[in-house]
Amino acid sequence: MKNLLVHCVAVLAFLFPLGSSAQWVSTNGPEGGDVVAFAVSGSNIFAGTNGSGVFLSTNSGASWTAVTTGMTEEIVITALAVSGNNIFAGTDHAGVYRSANNGALWNSADTGLSNTCVTALAVSGNNIFVGTKGGGVYLTADNGASWMEVNNGLGNTWVNALAVSGSTVFVGTRGGVFFSANNGSSWSKAAGAGLADTQVTALVVSGAAIFAGTQQGGVFLSSDNGASWANVNTGLGNTRVNALAASGGTVFAGTQGGVFLSTNNGASWAAAAGANLPDAPVFALAICGSTVFAGIHAGVLLSTNNGASWAAAADVGLVNTHVNALAVCDSTVFAGTDCYRMFLSKNCGASWAAVTGVDPYSWTANVTALAVSGGTILGGGDGWVFQCNADGGAWDEIGDFAGKITSLAMIGSTVLVCVEGMGAYRSMDGEPFNFYNGYIPGSVTGLAVSGAFVFAASFSGVYRSRDSGWTWTAVNTGLTNKNVNVLAVSGNTIFAGTEVGGIYLSRNNGASWTKTGLQNKSVTGLTVSGKYVFAVAADSGIFLSTDNGASWTDFSAGFANRPVNTLAVSGNTVFAGTSAGVWRRPLSDIVSIIPKNLKTIPLQTRLRIGASGSLHSGFMLNYSIRSRCIVQLGIYTISGKQVALLEQGERAPGEYAVKFDGGAIPSGLYVCRFQAGNYQESNRLMVAK
C-alpha cells in the first residue's frame, strides 16, 4: 500500500486570481415576477417578492433596485412594515429581518421568535406585532431586539393578517377575527354575519371602519371596532380577497381576479377601470400619495389617480421571474416563465421582450417546455402548445391538452408532445394530435431525437421509436434506475438523467446503458452543446462533462441556494433559468476550471490541489483514477479528526473535480486524505484567512 505525503500550502483567501470573471451573473430579466408585499416609507416604495427578497423604488415604480444585502440568497418575503427609521421584513421560514438604512443592509431580528414562518406585520406606536403560521402572534417593544409570544385567548394561531385601529390590534386568522385592546395581553373573538368561522386573509382600517377580506366570502365590514360585522360584496366580482388598502374615502380590494374599489364604505364595489391585465390575481396593495400599487404574478400594476385608471409599472430592475424553460434559435434566447409569459433576448440577455400571441389574461397557466427544430420554436404550457418561427413573431396555437406539457420534440414534420401523467401525443403535417402512449406503461417525462430514432423518458425507463412515435419499445438493459427524468443527445451518445441514480449513457441507440461519473444524484436537466454536456442536479448544483460523462465538474458557484430549473447555450455563453430570472456565464470561464484531460497520457491515480479558488466560492481538489474503485476524499485535523467528507463511493475511470469551501473551518494546518481502492495519498493543507 503506497502512502505519499506531499507538502502543499493553500491560502484560501488569496487563491482566486485578480480580475477573474468565472462567476454567474444575473441578466437584466426577464423583468417582473411575484410581488407579494409592499411598504411605504416617505417616497420610498419597498416590494417583497416570492424568492428574491426586497426591491426598492425611489421614483414611484419607474425602476427598482434589489436591496437584499444581509439576507439569504433565495428568500420569500411575506410581509413588510415601517417603524420610524426601521424597515421590517417578515419571511417564510427565515423569521424577521430589520434594516435601519432603507434596505442597504439587513440584519436578522428574530431573538425569541420560536416560529419563523412569518405571515403578517403591524406597527402600533413603539410596539411591533408579528403573525405566524401556527405560532400565533409575537410582540417586540425594542425594535426587534427580542420577541415574546402573546397568544392568551387567541383561539386560532394560524395568522394571515394584522391591522391596528387606535389602541386596538386586530388579527385575521383561519378561524375568524380576534382583537386586543391591551397590546396583545389578551384576545377576544369578533362575531357577526358568519365571520366567526371564516378564514380571514386581509385587514385594513379606513377611518372608523374596519374591513376584513376572506378566502372565499368576499369582504366584511365593522363600524363598531370589531364588535359586529356585515358582509359587503355588492359588485365585488371575485370574492377571494388577497389584499386590502384604503386611501381617503376609497377602499381597494386585491382579489384573485383583479382590483376592485369602493368609494362608499363598501356599500358597492366596481372593477378597477382601464387596468392592464384586469383578471390577474392581486397579492398586495399599497398607497403612496395618489399612487396605488398592486403586486401581481408579473410584477407591479399602478394607478396614479387613486384608482381611476391603471397601467403596468415599468418593472425596470425588478427581476424575480420564475423561468421554467430555455431554448436557443440562432442567437435568440427564448425563456418560458410562469403566468403564461414568453420572453426573448437578441442581445445575450442585456434586454428581454415579451413574445406576442400568448393570451395575457390566462394567469393560471405557465410556460413549461420549449423545443427548437431548424427555424421553428415550440412552446408548451398548462394545456396548450404554440409554435412560432425563429424571429420571435406572434405565436400560433397548434394543440390543446388536458394537462401540463413536460417535453416537446420535432422529427421532420412530426410534432411530439408529452403531457404530465398522460403520455405522448403525435401530430404529423399539421394534423390534429393523437394519443400514442399504449406502448409506454408510465408517465412520459422527456423526449430526445437522435437521427431516425425518438427516445422517451418515463418512470418505467427509456422507450425508443423507429417510426416517429407510432410505436415504442423498451430499451432498458443496464439501466438499473428506471425513474428517468430527462434525456439528451450528443452525437452518437444518449444521456439519461434519473431520479437519485445520476446519469446513464448509451452509445448504441439505447440497446445498453452504463453509468457515468455523475451518480447518486437527482438529475432534472440535461443540455448538450458540441462536446459539452451540462447537467442540472436538484439541490446539488450544475455540472459539466467534456469527456462524454466519464468525469464531471461542479460549476454552480454564485447561485448559493437558488434553484436552477433549466440550461441553454448560445455561442460562448451558458444561460441558466432560475427562480429569479435568467443568469449567464461565459463558457470559456466554465471550461477554464476543468483540469486538462489526462487521457493523452496513461491515466494515473492521483490527487491534485487546484491552483485557484476563493474563501467564499471554494477551490477545487482534482483527482483521477485509472480503474473503477471505491473513492474517499476528506479533510482532517493534524490529530486525525475528520472536518469534511468531500467524496465517498464507487467511481468510474476518469478525472474528477470536487469543490472545497474552507470558509466553515478555522485557520490552521489540515491534512487532505485521498484513497482510491488500495491507493492512498495525503497532502498537508494550510487554511489562512
SS3 (DSSP) at 589: helix
Q: Which helix (H) or strand (E) holds 591?
A: helix 587-592
- The answer to the question of residue 606 being in a domain is yes
- The answer to the question of residue 245 being in a domain is no
CATH number at residue 656: 2.60.40
Three-state SS sequence of 364-415? CCCEEEEEEECCEEEEEEEEEEEEEECCCCCCEEEEEEEEEEEEEEEECCEE
pLDDT at 173: 94
Q: Which helix (H) or strand (E) holds 450?
A: strand 444-450
**C-alpha to C-alpha distances, 24 to 35, 49, 583, nearest whole angstrom:** 24, 21, 6
Task: List, in sequence order, the alpha helices (H) in 647-688.
Answer: none
pLDDT at 25: 84
Task: Measure the CA angle with vertex 283, ends 282 and 285; round to 5°.
Answer: 85
pLDDT at 87: 94
Q: In 10 A of CB 413, how many CB atoms?
A: 12
Residue 21 CA from chain centroid, whole number? 24
Alpha-carbon distance of 227 to 238, in angstroms, equals 26
pLDDT at 239: 92
Domain that holds residue 657: 3-21+601-687
HSE-CB at 117 with a 13 A cutoff on CA atoms is 9
Alpha-carbon distance of 500 to 540, in angstroms, equals 11
* CB 206, CB 251: distance < 8 Å: yes
- The answer to the question of residue 682 being in a domain is yes
Which of 14, 52, 50 is CA-nearest to residue 34? 50
- The answer to the question of residue 9 being in a domain is yes
Q: How many domains does the chain have?
A: 1
- The answer to the question of residue 539 being in a domain is no
Report pTM.
Answer: 0.74
Chunked into runs of 10 residues, the chain (689 residues) has average pLDDT values of: 31 30 76 89 90 89 88 85 92 92 91 93 92 94 93 94 91 93 91 82 92 93 88 92 90 91 91 63 89 87 82 79 86 81 85 69 69 83 80 74 85 85 80 69 82 88 87 91 91 89 91 90 88 84 86 77 83 86 84 51 56 44 76 82 80 72 72 81 71
Which of 328, 324, 334 is CA-nearest to residue 569? 328
Instruction: Pull the grid cell for residue 277.
Output: 391585465
Q: In 10 A of CB 678, how many CB atoms?
A: 9
- The answer to the question of residue 207 being in a domain is no
- The answer to the question of residue 566 being in a domain is no
Which of 387, 414, 413, 489 is CA-nearest to residue 448? 489
- The answer to the question of residue 60 being in a domain is no
Which of 214, 129, 134, 217 is CA-nearest to residue 179? 129
Count of all residues that appear for the chain in the document = 689
**C-alpha to C-alpha distances, 23 to 26, 180, 533, nearest whole angstrom:** 10, 51, 19
Tell me which DSSP letter residue 197 carries.
G
Alpha-carbon distance of 334 to 352, in angstroms, equals 9
* CB 411, CB 454: distance < 8 Å: yes
Three-state SS sequence of 494-506? EEEEECCCCEEEE
**C-alpha to C-alpha distances, 578 to 27, 29, 461, 559, nearest whole angstrom:** 11, 11, 27, 9
